Amino acid sequence: MTANLSETLTLLLIEDDDGDAFLVEELLKEAESPPRILRARSLQEAKAKLTSKIQCVLVDLSLPDANRLEALEEVLALAPHAAVLVLTGLRNVHVGVAAVQAGAQDYLIKGDVDARLLARAIRYARERKRADLAQLRLVEAELTAKENARLESALLPGALLHTDAIEHLTRYLPGSGGTLAGDFYDTVQTPDGAVHVVVGDVCGHGPDEAALGVALRIAWRTLVLAGQTGDTLLRTLDTLLRAERNAPEIFTTLCMATITPDLSVARMRVVGHPPPVLVRDGEVEALQGTPSGPPLGIFTDAEWSVIDVPLGEEWSIMLYTDGLIEAVVGERDELLGVDGLVDLVREHGCIDLDRLITHAGTVSDDLAMVLVRRRRD
């Protein structure tokens, strides 16, 4: 009966003995789908052939340039994607067992292998390798989820408010990749009654940007609680960003609002960031015009101006990151944009965060939103 390999594969045989190599090659010719066999006579020769195309490796542990398990360790390191079987002599069965413990999928004893056993061993080794890789991906996914949860709790804190006159709502969505980036927000009320809100966005995606966002968010809260809410705060954040970022091209945009204790005026600083959306006495608008200044981390001598915004008796302010206005909408896959966002708010008659997310379209970037609204008496 012919041996059976379920699919054609590329196999690397690392064997210095021509006779043993010939025997393996002849046995594999009996398979229904004989594999493509590459041969290496030493570990050094094998290194050049251990590419991503190699799906299985048969390695002799008695190579001229490697001492027993050294060869296996090199193969496992160079081809972590491939199934690895060890060839060993009858008197070195314990070495084969040690090889499996070290990471090989199986071991074969020279002189005690026929075509069927060899084909089956290769097939089973590949299945075990697939299972090992699937388990590894699962563990990595679980670790990533736990890390994201820790970062999210630091990026997205609870508001420090001690007034019932303000309604405070937040939303956060990761990008299409599902991982956190550098979007962050925070809200703090200081002892004088002023309410301070920030939404920021570290450029780029990944855990480094998320960690930098955490550092900036915590620094912002600390500085606000220490009474630093103006240019000193921004210069300090700029210094921190330059010290902590991994590359000089990393910058951060943010929008800050300080609402006066009587809740009548918002002092805004739009630092290279999308403009906030305001609803004042029923009128919807975006705070368009000249921003306060450039993003953090670009110019060492940057200055940022204050935009004083009268709020009236009934008002809502929404700060958000650019993931919202860069959402894809419509059949033409156009970006929502600031004007489209304002139109959606007008259509809804108020700022409803959940409805905005639903109607905004496909969100590909991270999205952070903070809504601060004066409660009706």
* β-pairing verdict for 328-329 and 195-205: unpaired
Q: Are 276 and 257 in contact (CB under 8 A)?
A: yes
- Locate 177 and state its tokens: 């990749």
Q: Detail the DSSP E strand segments found in the chain.
A: 10-14, 36-40, 56-60, 83-88, 106-109, 166-173, 181-189, 195-205, 252-259, 265-271, 277-280, 283-286, 307-310, 315-320, 328-329, 334-335, 367-374
- DSSP letter assigned to residue 9: -
Taking residue 292's Cβ as centre, other Cβ atoms within 10 Å add up to: 21
3-state secondary structure of 309: strand
Dump the DSSP string for 194-231.
-EEEEEEEEEEESHHHHHHHHHHHHHHHHHHHTT--SH
- Which residues, 6+ apart, have CB-to-CB distance to 262 below 8 Å? none
Whole-angstrom distance, CA of residue 168 vs CA of residue 374:
9
Residue pointed to by tokens 């609870």 = 158
Whole-angstrom distance, CA of residue 353 vs CA of residue 359:
10
Nearest of 199, 348, 220 to residue 282 by alpha carbon = 348
- Which residues, 6+ apart, have CB-to-CB distance to 45 below 8 Å? none
Q: Are 342 and 285 in contact (CB under 8 A)?
A: yes
What is residue 71's predicted lDDT score, i.e. its pLDDT? 84
What is residue 1's predicted lDDT score, i.e. its pLDDT? 41
Nearest of 188, 189, 219, 187 to residue 202 by alpha carbon = 219
Length of the chain: 377
3-state secondary structure of 368: strand
Q: Which pairs with CB-CB distance under 8 Å and at least 24 residues apart come from 218-226?
A: 218/154, 220/186, 221/157, 221/160, 221/186, 221/188, 224/188, 224/190, 224/196, 225/188, 225/190
With residue 4 as reference, give the H or E element that holds it: none
Residue ranges and CATH numbers for the domains of the chain are 10-136 (3.40.50.2300), 156-374 (3.60.40.10)
Given strand 283-286, what is the order of strands in its sheet? 166-173, 367-374, 315-320, 277-280, 283-286
Tens of each residue's pLDDT in the chain, 377 residues: 445 554 678 999 999 989 888 988 888 888 777 888 999 999 999 998 988 889 999 988 888 888 778 888 888 888 888 999 988 875 667 778 888 888 888 888 887 888 888 888 888 888 888 888 878 777 776 766 666 656 566 667 889 999 999 999 999 887 655 556 789 999 999 999 999 999 999 998 777 888 899 899 999 999 999 998 888 999 999 999 999 999 999 999 999 999 999 999 999 999 999 999 999 988 999 987 767 899 999 998 899 999 999 998 899 999 999 989 888 776 667 888 899 999 999 998 899 999 988 887 666 678 899 999 998 76
Whole-angstrom distance, CA of residue 377 vs CA of residue 313:
10
Q: Is 280 left (phi over 0), alpha (psi -120 to 50) or beta?
A: beta
Q: Are 218 and 231 in contact (CB under 8 A)?
A: no
